[in-house]
Structure 1
Amino acid sequence: MDVLSSRILLHPRDHEATVAFYRDTLGLAIYREFPGGTVFFLGGGLLEVVGRGTTGATPDAALWLQVRDLAATVAELRDRGVEPDRGPQREPWGLDEAWISDPDGTRIVLVEVPADHPLRVDVRAG
């Protein structure tokens, strides 16, 4: 299989509220819009909010969004009316994480990779 691109699809119960959340509250840039859908940039990926869903979020799925400064991001979101489901904390695997939810309850994991974390190690042959 030769994958050329990818995106996450969300089918929200309240399409307008979910688009407003990702666009206005989180401030994600729009990649493209079409009748019934909006595609947002997610760093190296895309998030498509399309159509309408009936069941809402599942605890078995989450969005993982890496940010530069977790404390500043959480403070900015609080100023925009988003109270974290779980505030920033260092996880046993060494990442700093906070959790928020979109209007349907989809978990969004905000992640800061500390400077000394193995994910920041340059693995190229030196």
Structure 2
Amino acid sequence: MHVLSSRILLRPTDPERSRRFYGETLGLAVHREFGTGPDRGTVYFLGGGFLELSGRAPSPPPEHDLERLRLWLQVPDVHAAHDELRAKNARILREPVTEPWGLIEMWLADPDGVRIAVIEVPRDHPLRSRPTI
């Protein structure tokens, strides 16, 4: 299989509220929009991928589904992202912490409870190295 592009699809309970969160609070750039009105679809850039908000869910995902779904957003400075998101009243679930595996992680939630990891990869972390073959 040759994958040309990929995206994560979310069905928010309140599309306008979710657009404000992803577009204004997180500051994600819009790749494209489709349809019209409050239920229009919006596709955001996610670094090397995309996040699409489209349709409308009748209710937030059940808690067991929220445990299965996570967004992982790598940023250059997680502490600066933390300060920016706190100033925008984002729902921060956990302050930045250096994990035993070396990544600095902060967790927040979108308006429907989808958990988002905001990650900084330190300069000396193995994810930054490209082993030679």
Task: Say yes or no: TM over 0.5.
Answer: yes
Q: For 1:59, which of 60, 67, 70 is the aligned residue?
A: 67
- Whether 1:88 and 2:96 are equivalent positions in the alignment is yes
Does residue 1:45 correspond to 2:53, yes or no?
no
Residue 78 (structure 2) pairs with residue 74 (structure 1): no
1:5-31 Cα offsets, whole Å, 9 max, x none, are: 110000011111001110111111000
Q: How many residues align?
A: 125
Q: Distance in 2 between matches of 1:10 and 1:31?
A: 15
2:106 is the counterpart of 1:98: yes
Q: Are 1:29 and 2:29 matched, yes or no? A: yes
**How many percent of aligned residue pairs carry the same amino acid?**
54
* Whole-Å separation in 2 of the counterparts to 1:45 and 1:6: 6
Distance, in Å, in 2 between the alignment partners of 1:124 and 1:9 is: 35
Amino acid of the structure 2 residue aligned with 1:20: R
Deviation of residue 53 (structure 1)? 1.3
CA–CA distance in structure 1, aligned partners of residues 92 and 12 of structure 2 = 20
Normalising by structure 1, report the TM-score.
Answer: 0.94
